[in-house]
Chain A
Amino acid sequence: MIYRETGQFKANYQDDQALFPIDQDRYVIYGILFITFAVVPYLLNPYWLNAILLPFLIYALAALGLNILTGYCGQLSLGTGGFMAVGAFSIYKLMVAFPELGFIPLVLLSGLITAAVGTLFGLPSLRIKGFYLAVATLAAQFFLIWLFNKVGWFFNYSATGMINAPPMTVFGVIVTGPEANGVAKYYLVAGIVAVFALAAKNIARGRIGRNWMAIRDMDIAAELIGVRPLIAKLSAFAVSSFYVGMAGALYFAVWLGSAEPTEAFDINQSFLVLFMIIIGGLGSVLGSFLGAAFLVIMPIMLKNLLVGGFGTESALAEHINIIIVGVLIIGFLIVEPHGLARLWRIAKEKLRLWPFPY
């Protein structure tokens, strides 16, 4: 009834090719952006901003990055944790060496460094596919973590291999270090995520994105119609690593504040982000956000519900939490193997036909 495109006539190509051609979609996006930037920071307390929304947004960015590679280009990667570590250690070295460049350029720069590293580790993708490629990227994960753990230069020879984010400002407001306030950090991260989610949506539907999808769907056919696999695959690795690197930089500098490579960026990170895109939906920007919400926000909510609401003992709550999250993952994948984003798409289709489905 409300969600209907009847009467929305497109009079020119520009309207027809808009990012959100249906008015209702556009209004919803405006609404979400309005809530994200104008309502949420003033409504929620620092606990929500620092401990729930910040990791959600950062993981959403990482999931977006992996989704570009795995969801759009079909190249399976298990190196996300390692690439996040590249972003984190890049920004650490840059923050200590060139603080005068400003924080946002440093985030972009560490994204670019990660893109270079990601492209390098993407080279095997030209020869190997599927599970074999996953093993090659797994090697990247282990190699990178080993490197950051072993070579003192990366952590400025600190006694324990820990890196600490020094305080830095954006437009005069502190965003890293312990004195940064939750609202400032939230605005920074939400801003970056919003800009790059928009960028991802645009890249994915343009020429580059179509090349990626052609490679994903059938690489030989793609080659025959003139898509160059070298360019397409490596550009997917580069763009994906750029996103993942930025996520790693924000993860370390803005959210955690200090990190050690073995725990913060271990193989579980890679799996976590991979599960996010599988549950959220491969090849969907919305899916990256839904998957991150499912695996970051929901366990914390469940814990707060069990411990705070029902007074469950904290250890028991943790066990129940593991069970429930596991059951929900299996449940969702049985109901909809294509992820949460697909559920949303089906809901949209149904809404458009409602109340007269044929």
Chain B
Amino acid sequence: MKKLTRTIVAALMAVPLMTGVASAYELVMPTLDYRTGPYAPNGIPFANGYGDYLNMLNERDGGINGARISLIPCETGYNTKKGVECYENTKAEGQSGALVYQPLSTGITYQLIPKASVDEIPVFSMGYGRTSAANGKVFPWVFNFPATYWSQATVFVQYIGEKEGGMENLKGKKIALVYHNSAYGKEPIRTLEKAAEKYGFEFMALPVDHPGQEQKSTWLQIRREKPDWVMMWGWGVMNQVAIKEAASIRYPMEHFIGVWWSGSENDVLPAGAAADGYLSGAFHQPGDNFGAHDDIKKYVYDKGMGLGDRDRIGEVLYNRGLVAAMWTSEAIRKAMEIHGTNEVRGTHVRDGFEALEVDEARLKELGLEGFTIPVKVTCENHEGPGKVALQQWDAKAKKWSLVSDFYEPLRDITGPLIAEDSAQFASENNVAERSCN
């Protein structure tokens, strides 16, 4: 009892310490990391890439336009309740308040969408979260560029059609989806059902429960049903297990496509040589041969401030974190430009996101030429380009490489679904559509 009281007293005394007074104006960016739990293998590289890039901006340029970035890490363990606690804890931090959230969890994103909209803090759920947030008229505070899950699902269908020798050949084919049994994994189902209707392929959905260690029955079912293609919406430990299981039933890896959260080194390495040829979605290059990576090594790792291991710079999820940090910092830069001040707040950053345009020329200036696709966000379109490419794993060289061009999504399928889902959200939550003129 005494110990408990002492702990509580000490914790109470610690609270004022946390809200210390900042001297210069700092750009507060909380990061909802997860370096613990079953999703840590994926959470760690992303958090490292995100943090390293922003630390590099601090060290190299003194922040964004001279305003330093203050990163506030908060551990969520991919747990929604902890994520909400982190959000409440960090949202009012510092003079600026939190400027933007990058939850890296569809579950936490769903929690934050209504809360952040009221607190006027933008949520940048980069390529995850609620797909219908692409409709900026209903979700002014949420951004999910460069592409959504639904766009990605239609791109995979197109890729399969191409490999089968034309979309008409999809008729009668069997496509399975192995998905994380949560809001995240269920995202593509409706799109794929619509696509199945349109192209006449047979669609089967196979859920895998959190955390995804146990998939024997799922893969037995796949062995029995023999689908022509398998897609996967997995995360964390589930990815490795699925790829190993697929290898153990000798499922052809060239016919196994993961979402872009199921395509990193951590996911394929445990399966060894058997993972060769496994495909996944992508919207940026793997590797560390870009100017930005050199700067990170020079300004961050050489000073011993790196968040991770030096030799893991350039892994797929590290680069994913880096690209998220790049777009976020560009949005803040844009916000400073629009509002003519360095002392931006959440509302300003939202305007920055909405006017964000990172084209080839700007990528080159940032030392990321050819790293990712050009992005342009507008008031009504928060999904940006929506384009997706595929990358393939080479088990011998232990390298991912892009093996396709960037596909346009099938907007005739995703468009009506986005309109329908955002309208449902608007009516359930009494949100009025804003005009974008």
Contacts and interface: CB of A to CB of B under 8 A. Distances in A.
A262 B106 CA distance: 13
Nearest to A343: B1
B225 interface: no
A258 B110 contact: yes
A207 B108 CA distance: 46
A275 to B, nearest CB: 16
Contacts of A159: 131-132, 186-187, 189-190, 417, 421
Interface stretch (B2-10, B270-278, B400-408): B2-10
Contact of A258 (B15, B79, B114, B190): B114
Nearest to B429: A166
Interface string B284-320: 0000000000000000000000000000000000000
Interface in A298-344: 298, 300-305, 307-309, 313-315, 317-319, 328, 331, 340, 343
A314 B33 contact: yes
B430 A178 contact: no
Nearest to B119: A178
Interface stretch (B80-88, B239-247, B354-362): B80-88
B198 interface: no
Interface residues of B, number: 56
A257 B14 contact: no
A266 B92 CA distance: 31
Contacts of A149: 181
A161 B182 CA distance: 8
A166 B430 contact: yes
Contacts of A100: none
B348 interface: no
Contacts of A96: 428
Given A257-B115, A305-B7, A51 B89 contact: yes
Given A256-B111, A257-B115, A262-B181, A164 B88 contact: no
B11 A178 contact: no
Interface residues of A, number: 51
B1 A55 contact: no
B127 interface: no
A318 B75 contact: yes
A317 B75 contact: yes
Contacts of B80: 256, 259, 263-264
B7 A301 contact: yes
B424 A158 contact: yes
Contacts of A164: 110, 114, 425, 428-429
B192 to A, nearest CB: 12
A49 to B, nearest CB: 9
Contacts of B33: 314-315
Contacts of A177: 114, 429
Nearest to B191: A159
Contacts of B184: 160
A339 to B, nearest CB: 12
A58 to B, nearest CB: 11
Interface of B: 1, 3-4, 7-8, 10-15, 17-18, 33, 35-36, 73-75, 77, 79-81, 84-85, 88-89, 92, 106-107, 110-111, 114-115, 117-118, 130-132, 181-184, 186-187, 189-190, 209-210, 417, 421, 424-425, 428-430
Interface of A: 46-47, 50-52, 55, 96, 149, 156, 158-162, 164, 166-167, 177-179, 256-260, 262-264, 266, 294, 297-298, 300-305, 307-309, 313-315, 317-319, 328, 331, 340, 343
